[in-house]
Chains A and B, each alone.
Chain A
Amino acid sequence: MQKSIDQINERIRDGNARVVTAEEMPRIVADLGEKKALAEVDVVTTGTFGAMCSSGAFLNFGHADPPIRMERVWLNDVEAYGGLAAVDAYIGATQQSTTREENYGGAHVIEDFISGRSVELRAISRGTDCYPRRTITTELLLENLNQAIMCNPRNGYQRYNAASNTTDRILHTYMGMLLPGCGNITYSGSGLLNPISNDPRFRRIGSGVPAFLGGAPGMVIGEGTQASPGSGFGTLMVTADMKRMNPEFIRAATMTGYGVTLYIGLGIPIPVLDLETVRSTAVRDEDIWVDVIDYGIPTRSRPSLSKVNYAQLKSGVVELRGEEVRTSPLSSFRRARVVAEELKLWIQGGKMTLALPTRRIDSEKISQPMHETVQGPRVLEIMDRRVIAIGEGEAIRTAAQKLLKGETNHLPVINEQGVLVGIVTTYDISKAVVNPAKGPLVKDIMKRKVITTTSEEPVDIAVQKLERYNISALPVVDREFRVIGMLTAMDLGKLFGGRWLK
């Protein structure tokens, strides 16, 4: 048995369509079986409500008198992209205010407009024969704009890897606050309610398909940026009229220490036309697996600590490395449900009919990392290759002599195998002279916890370590933890005037 989209739309128009949410569907299929579920259910509604950084809106302000060709545009001190004709601009959600930094940004401008608050527009121009005006300042309400069309390049991630942190310090990330020593796990997405998780082959979701966006009826434009449905991380580009949105479903937010983002309610109705759609919409939280990624490692391919599913994440506690770790969703499952329920009401009430994709999204596509032609500097290129080290069993006095002779302030301490076991600085030695009680040997006074770098590490990461721990030198170690050089604040000077400034 198969149903056509026209049959379903007819039933919607007659008010007879059977609409359920993606949360209800697994139960229905389990109870009725796939065939009966296909006969019974016409539409499955999905929903998600979470932080979606890659969002923004095209705005048209209308022409001033005398007219201006806006070159740079600010809305409440948040810069909007003005490189679009005379009075068009794109306000991006994550752009931050020039005056209020991470406390206010493009997302807040969007929320202010939708909530009916006035927003100050400032723009400058060099002036042309046809657009003589050079500056403008005016207060605008959403109703004063000709168009305010939200157009989000990347929304509705199919699923998202969870986050944790193996380092010994707190991290502030776009995945929220991550406590040291894997003290917590954060995750995002609504699991079984996520739109793409209910249609991972993109058989029903594609260009032209209707959607719920921020409380307004909207549309899927097509594949989202960075979409990687081939690896289970599909995304969508979506649009809707901001003038019809509701602040309940559009909320500006700040991830402390990271920046501004926009929480968005997004839902897509899926017409149940065949058995394969019945199966895909019966997806459960237990079926959707993600990695727990270690955000303590500052590289693109961060290691996975574990694999978990949304049922485990939503239970509030996950076992990680033999310990029970508490979880935080960063998206609101409560509001995701409201989105799916609201969409259900729209369709039951005949307010929205469905459509098939006018263009299919490639479900095999895999997103690629950046093609980099110029590699940034690595520690190897600027480190000091002279290694002046001392054995842990040597006298403090010997260390002092070495420091003087080597004209350095940091002395890595090595054991008999040449492995780094500590570090002493001129400060440590001064302290030992003033207060000799600790003992006469280097190992009595050395710091055992040494922050190190490697020759292959990007200089930017090494600099972050120097700043974070408020230190001025890092021993460079090889795989066996033997010292092969030192990187000091002085070496960083080599970056200036050298090839890296080209």
Chain B
Amino acid sequence: MKLLVTFSRKEGKKPIIAQVVRDTGVLINVERALIDSSEGEALIDIPDESCRLVKEKLEGMGAAVRILEEELNLDEAECVDCGACVSICPQEVFSFDGNWKLRMEGKKCVLCGRCIEICPHRALSRKGEA
């Protein structure tokens, strides 16, 4: 399960993810992180059964946590199944089915945004931003 964790760094540079790993024993996989002087955003992957534990722990340390589900939107009317997105995705979200129709496994997505940027037919967007 993927969680989007955002936190402020104004109260100091607390190693909150490391802290949560130590306190809970859950192995957290950081898939994407963007941290600057005032705030940070990390996309983490954890086993489904540890979701509640990790989420509560992170929130207890002042971070905002959002559970990511299918965040990517594919506009079937615009998509022509060209597959430009297939090889550029670091998570292998896209593939073809037996009939060369584009298949999207949104659950694997880490929202890097590459496919949205390059889709020749502008068929991909983040949910809520379509």
Contact between A256 and B117 (Cβ–Cβ < 8 Å)? Answer: yes
- Interface SS of chain A: strand
Bound together, the chains give a CA A334 to CA B80 distance in angstroms of 8
Question: Is B88 at the interface (CB under 8 A from chain A)?
Answer: yes
Chain A residues with Cβ under 8 A from B81's Cβ? 332-335
Could you tell me how many residues of chain B have their Cβ less than 8 Å away from some Cβ of chain A?
21
B82 at the interface (CB under 8 A from A): yes
Question: Which label, helix, strand, loop or mixed, suits the secondary structure of the B interface?
Answer: loop
- Establish whether residues B80 and A49, one from each chain, have CB atoms under 8 Å apart when the complex forms: yes
Q: Assuming A253-B120, A254-B122, A316-B95, is B84 touching A177 (CB within 8 A)? A: yes
Any B CB within 8 A of the CB of A441: no
Chain A residues, Cβ within 8 Å of B33: none
**When the two chains form their complex, are residues B100 and A328 in contact, meaning their CB atoms are under 8 A apart?**
no
Decide: B100 and A327 in contact? CB cutoff 8 A.
no
**A334 touching B99 in the complex, CB below 8 Å, given contacts A177-B84, A179-B88, A316-B86:** yes
Q: Are B82 and A332 in contact (CB under 8 A)?
A: yes
Asked if B82 and A329 sit within 8 Å, CB to CB, the answer is yes
Q: Which of B21-57 contact A (CB under 8 A)?
A: none
Interface residues of A in 305-338 (CB under 8 A from B): 316, 325-335, 337
Q: Considering the chains assembled together, what is the distance between the CA atoms of A337 and B87 in angstroms? A: 22
Cα–Cα distance between A333 and B82 once the two chains are bound (Å): 7
How long is the Cα–Cα vector from A254 to B124 in the complex, in angstroms? Answer: 13
Interface centre among A49, A51, A177 (most CB of B within 10 A): A177
- The total of interchain contacts (Cβ-Cβ below 8 angstroms) comes to 74
Q: Point out the residues of chain A lying under 8 angstroms from B87, CB to CB.
A: 179, 184-186, 325-328
Residue pair B121, A184 in contact (C-beta under 8 Å): no
Nearest residue, chain B, Cβ from A255: B120
Task: Check B118 for interface membership: any CB of A closer than 8 A.
Answer: yes
Query: How far does the alpha carbon of A333 sit from the alpha carbon of B101 in the complex, in Å?
Result: 9
Chain A residues within 8 Å of chain B by Cβ, number:
30
Q: Does A47 contact B (CB under 8 A)?
A: no
Contact (A254, B120) CB under 8 Å given A177-B114, A332-B100 = yes
A193 to B92, CA, bound (A): 27
In this complex, what residue of B is CB-closest to A178?
A: B88
Least distance between B84 CB and chain A CB atoms (Å): 5
Q: Which of B71-130 contact A (CB under 8 A)?
A: 80-88, 92, 95-96, 99-101, 114, 117-118, 120-122
Which parts of A329-375 form the interface with B (CB within 8 Å)? 329-335, 337
Residue A251 CB within 8 A of the other chain: yes
In angstroms, Cα B83 to Cα A335, docked, is 12
B contact residues around A184 at 8 Å (CB): 87-88
Q: List 13 A-B contacts (CB under 8 A).
A: A49-B80, A50-B82, A177-B117, A177-B118, A185-B87, A251-B121, A256-B118, A326-B92, A328-B86, A328-B87, A332-B80, A333-B100, A335-B81
* Residues in chain A within 8 A of chain B (CB atoms): 49-51, 172, 176-177, 179, 184-186, 251, 253-256, 261, 263, 316, 325-335, 337
Binding site for A on B (CB under 8 A): 80-88, 92, 95-96, 99-101, 114, 117-118, 120-122
